[in-house]
Amino acid sequence: MALAATSTVADIEGAYLDNMGYDANGNVAQCRAFISACRGLLLRRPETASRGASDSSQSFAWSMESIRRELDAARQWLAFAPSANCGNVVHPDFSDLRDQAGWATGRPYGTDT
């Protein structure tokens, strides 16, 4: 299910849990859904919450930093996912190509003499 402005916190948490295995599955669509769920959690989830009277209250802390780290990891995974780069610009690094090929020494790669 795609998340929308009307999605509840439970919907967002469900999307987070359903799609958190994107990297193990190698699934680009799951990664995109996971990124959306992380964004939704960052917007809709309180950092701390408590319930009950002060003498018998229950409280928990939701780590926004861990969600941000998960979001960054998902973005990085998506940037390098093979099927996600269709239509994207990729900038390869050829800075040491000449050194690797032996052109700087005058001996082509693979020759020992």
What does the DSSP assignment read for 8-56? -HHHHHHHHHHHTTHHHHT-HHHHHHHHHHHHHHHHHS-SEEEES-TTS
Residue 109 pLDDT > 80: no
Residue-wise pLDDT for 13-22, tens only, equals 999 999 999 9
Residues 22, 13 contacting (CB under 8 angstroms): no
How many Å apart are CA 28 and CA 94, to the nearest integer? 27
Residue-wise pLDDT for 76-98, tens only, equals 999 888 765 555 566 777 777 66
How many Å apart are CA 47 and CA 4, to the nearest integer? 21
DSSP symbols for 54-73: TTS-EEEE--HHHHHHHHHH
% of the chain exceeding 70 in pLDDT? 62
Residue 56 pLDDT > 80: no
Cβ atoms within 10 Å, residue 41: 20
Q: What predicted TM-score, i.e. pTM, was given to this entire model?
A: 0.62
Which of 13-27, 35-49, 97-111 has maximum average pLDDT? 13-27
